[in-house]
Structure formats: C-alpha cells, structure tokens
Chains A and B, each alone.
Chain A
Amino acid sequence: MKTKTAPILSLVVIGLLLVFSACEDQITNTYTYRTMLPVYLEMSDVRARLIAPEPPQPLDNPGKIYIYGDYLLINEPTKGIHILDNTNPSNPVNLSFIPIEGNIDLAVNNNMLYADNYADLLVFDISNLRNIQLIKRVEDVFASQYTQQTGQIVTFKDTVITTESPTWGGRPGTGWLMLSDMSFRANFSAASQSYGMGGSLARFTLMNAHLYAVDQSTLRVFDVKDAKDPKFIKPVDLGWGIETIFPFQNKLFIGSNRGMHIYDASTPSSPTRMSVFEHVLACDPVVVNENHAFVTLRTGNTCWNGVNELQVVDIKDPYKPVLVKAYTMLNPHGLGLAGNYLYLAEGQHGLKSFNVSDVMKIDQNQLEFLKSMKSVDLIPGPKSLIVIGPDGVCQFDYSKPAQLKKLSCIQVKNPVIIN
C-alpha cells in the first residue's frame, strides 16, 4: 500500500468508528415470573371423561399419601392417584395410576377410596387393586369450586412467563394474574404435599363412619356408614384460612392459619365448636395425643408472621386450650406423633425427632437431627416412617426412634425445591 493512501485510509476507518459509536445505548428489560394462569372447565365435560386405571406412572410431584394395608396411595395434586405395593418398605413397587382431574385429597373406608374431582366426590371400589372401579359420583358437594359468575370450574395452572414489560403497575404479576403462592388452588396444592391417614396436613379424614373434608373455609360432613354410598350431610362454616384436619377421640382438630379449632364430633353428623386456640398468622399443622396438641407455626406461603415454632397446647379441657410452651424451630412443616416420640419436618433444614414424654423439656430431648433429609411432611405408619421431601418419598425404619434407618426412597420425576 502506498504511503499516501495510508492517511486517507486511517481517516476513513476512524470516521467509520465514529459512526458506529454514535449509536445510542440500548436497554432491554425482561421479566420472568411464576404465576397461576386461570383455566376454565365445564363440570359436565369433566364428568363425561372416562376414569379408568392406567399403567404405573413415575411420581412427578407427590402430594398426600395414604396407607392402606400393604399399599400406599399417593396423590399427584390435580392429576390423580398412584397406587404402590408397599409390602416391603425397602422396595415399594409402583402398580398403577388413577387419573382424576382436580384431585387434591383422598381417604379409604372399607375398601372404598374417596377422592375429590373438582366439585364432585368420587368413590372407587379398590377391594381388588388390579380391577379398580368407579362406582359412585356424588355431584356438586364441593360447590365452592364453582365461580359465581360463570358457573364453571376455575383452576390455576402454575406457569412461568417471560415478558418484555417489567411492570404491571405495582408489584409485577399481580394484575388479573394471581401469584402462584397466593391462590387457593396453590394453597390446596401446598397443603396437599402430605399424607392422608395420620398426616398432619390432611384435608380429608374419616372418623366414626363419617368423612370430613375441609376446604379453605368450610368443613363438609359425609355419612359413609354405607361405604359405597357417601351421603353429603352438611357444610360447617369454619372461617377463613383452614388448612388441615386431624381426628382424635371424637374430636376434630382443625388447623387454620389463625389458630387451631377444636370441634366435638361425638355427634358425628353435626360437629360443634368447642374452642379456638388463636395465635398469630401462621401455617400450622396439628397432631394430638390425649393431653396435648402439637402445633407447628412457620414463616412462608401466606404466613408472614416470621415465627418458626413448635407449640405445645394443653387440651385436657378442650373448651379451654392453654399454651404450655413454645420451642423455637428452624422452619417446621408437617409433624407426626408415635407414642412419646414426635417427628418433625424442618423443611430444607432436615428432619428432627424428639422424645415428648416431658412436654416442658422437648428441646432437651431432641433425639436426632438428620440435616440431609430435607422434608415437608411425614406420617408414622405401621411399617415405616414415611417422609416426603425434595428427593421424593422416603421410608425409614423407626423402631429405634433415636436412630432412624433409611429403607427406601421413591424418586420423583421432577426434583423439587424446598424454600
């Protein structure tokens, strides 16, 4: 290249650089968030669909667990129920799956499986688990599922959305969309991360030939003396924020996010309120023995109180429950009582066991703290302690309460996170 052209070239190049540089900076905002998108369903369409058992399916996001003899029934929230042979707790075998839309909870009474199907209660004959049959549909018993405006069922699908628009006016995503952790369905789902019989987060329970089902504000009573033909008796208004139900000695202990309701169910068809043990806003599963109720309060979900406690409530006089003592915990979720031993799911912090024979010294009688066993709920079953956590459904030999021995873990298809 000739030296005379070099200055010209340099000027051209620098000019081009200047032109490029004249572009203004660009800023792009994207907002990715989890929300619950509404999905509207006609109940007539739901009823028209055939419900028949399917081949076993991997556990995706297990919810309630119900122990039925040698079998485990595991709810897949809003999708259906897995049936597993748990003859050997060290090696549970997945047998089949019953697809039930909108299913949140289940209970078994004399070989009859009760399961909710949005607004309806279904009855399956499971006396032969290889030939499960839908024998009854009790319609419109969970009427709160209907939207008043359209008469349709509205469900909310957990969805992740990315938008270029970062705000919706105020907190993003709170316009007509619902935050996933605020919806009732999510509350159902959250509560459903648990285990039917004995599970402290159950919403269906059986006692004295009656099925009791709670939603966020109502206790629904069914007469199931004829197990094949449950009869809806009546709804009992409970107030807002109902989360769990636990039966014990003709009483129903109902956990709400404001306290624990104690109902006298000695007249099974007509439970009456005995008392309400109120506390600050918190999520509170309950388990009970003859003298005491054990209640966990935790932060998170719609429970913003900032308290993480195990509370022991004296219920010798169920009309006057009295707080005996509160113990600080890390983030307690579900809990289970087996004799004098209390097992407590500490969320992402692990799993604890206590000897609670002296309720004033529970903190001094912690037996074990398995930090690696993240857990949200548990059920002390006849064969094993069943624990649900991010790794799936694990079973422990708890014949030595101070030395839990892991027997098996049923892996879930999609690993989950505990916050």
Chain B
Amino acid sequence: MRKILCLLIGLYFSCVKGLAQEKMFYSQTELGFMLGKSGEDWEGKHQKRIGLSFQSFHGARINSKNVIGFSVGLDRYDYLSVIPIAMGYRGFLGKEGKAQLFGGLDLGAGSMLLEKKEETEWSKSWYEGGLLFSPMAGFRFPSRKGKASLSMTFAYKRQELSYFWGQLDQRTTITPRSEGLLPPGFHSVSETASLFHSFVFRVGLMY
C-alpha cells in the first residue's frame, strides 16, 4: 500500500515539475455524499449506505482541456473513515468561459490511518486500506468574475478495505514461522474484506 502511494506521489511530482507555471495549476475542492447498498443481511435484505465524501484535487494542466494531478480527501463508510489518496485526470469539453462538461478518473488507494489499531494480551485488530477506482463526470459553471468556477461531480467509487482480527499465539514455546501465511506470532487471523460500490455526488469550487 505504501509503495503504491509513494509511486503515485512520485509520478505526480515528476509530471508537475515540468509544468510548474502559476497559471498551469488547477485545483478542485468538493464536498458531497456517497450512496451505496450493503450486502444482504441475515434476513436477506439490503440496507442503504450513505456517507460523507470530501475531496481536494490538485493538478497541472497539460493543455487547456486536460489536467493531471492527485487528490486526497475523506470518505465515510458507515462507521469507518477512509482517506482516499489517488492520482487523477480531468478532461474538459466545451468553450472556455462557458459551462463545460468534464470527465475524469481517480486511481489510488484508501488509507485507514484514522482507524485505531487495537491490541490486547490475546489479540490484535487493525484495518488496511485497498484499491480505489473512481471514474466521474460533471459540470463546470464558471463565475462571471474571478477565476473560480462552481463544479458538480457525479462519480462511481470502488473502494476496497479490510479488517483484520488476529489471535496471538499463546504458546510459550518457540514456534516455527508460517511461511507467510500467518503474520509472525499469530495463531489465527480472520480477514473481513469489504468492497464498496458507491455513487458519489459532490459540489465545490474549481480554480
């Protein structure tokens, strides 16, 4: 996970460095919500999932219609907070100074830094983030004065994350390692891997 993030950030800076002119910078900050449908519960029913979604995208223009950059934000999935970090692309259709249609794609990973790891004498539990994939489309409404534009984004967001609960090995004798199948020192580990499919609507400002 960390390697992916480092790679994405490295790629971003390597792209932006050559384009570092003031007017070339682009930013988009939005707040909205995510809608999803939980898997079947024990009664075979689905529950609606709604959560906050905040995103701040910063990038550089390759040309007047295309932007690459990276985004960070905060997404809420039920009781979990995920920090999405992604490389992103935005492309615009339409004339400058008028309402434009834009599309984009974010590809990265969700970080679970905000979720606490828990540890007792007998067990440990923790979260790990996973792949984030989010294609989007939206509208840009430029203001009559100033550089800012109103943005309205519709997106699909696919987010993977996992919850781990591990029972520590209580044997006080020495035990062989498990050749990677179990982390060292654990007797068992259960993983609950979640894949969230969300419809996202956000509004905000573009600069």
Contact = CB atoms under 8 A, between A and B. Distances in A.
B168 A416 contact: no
B101 to A, nearest CB: 5
Nearest to B194: A27
Contacts of A20: 135, 156, 158, 197, 199
A5 B133 CA distance: 27
B197 to A, nearest CB: 4
B137 A14 contact: yes
Interface string A1-22: 1010011011001101110111
Output the residue of B103, B154, B188 with the most chain A CB within 10 A. B188
B119 interface: no
A193 B37 contact: no
A367 B163 CA distance: 46
A166 B173 contact: no
A34 B184 CA distance: 12
B206 interface: no
A390 B182 contact: no
B143 interface: no
B39 A26 contact: yes
A30 B190 contact: yes
Contacts of A32: 181-182, 188-191
Contact of B188 (A18, A34, A61): A34
A109 interface: no
B174 A17 contact: no
A34 B157 CA distance: 36
Contacts of B126: none
A37 to B, nearest CB: 14
B140 to A, nearest CB: 11
B41 to A, nearest CB: 11
The A interface is mostly helix, strand or loop, or mixed, namely mixed
Given A14-B137, A333-B172, A419-B169, A25 B188 contact: no
A3 B169 contact: no
Nearest to B184: A417
A378 B121 CA distance: 27
B175 interface: yes
The 8 closest A-B pairs by CB, nearest first: A300-B172, A21-B199, A33-B188, A13-B137, A23-B197, A190-B173, A416-B174, A20-B156
Given A18-B156, A162-B181, 14 more contacts: A14-B154, A17-B156, A21-B157, A21-B199, A24-B37, A27-B194, A31-B188, A32-B191, A34-B182, A160-B182, A283-B172, A300-B170, A300-B173, A301-B170
Interface of B: 35-40, 46, 49, 93-94, 101, 103, 135-137, 139, 154-158, 168-179, 181-182, 184-185, 187-200
10 contacts: A22-B197, A26-B194, A26-B195, A31-B188, A32-B190, A172-B188, A179-B187, A300-B170, A300-B172, A388-B174
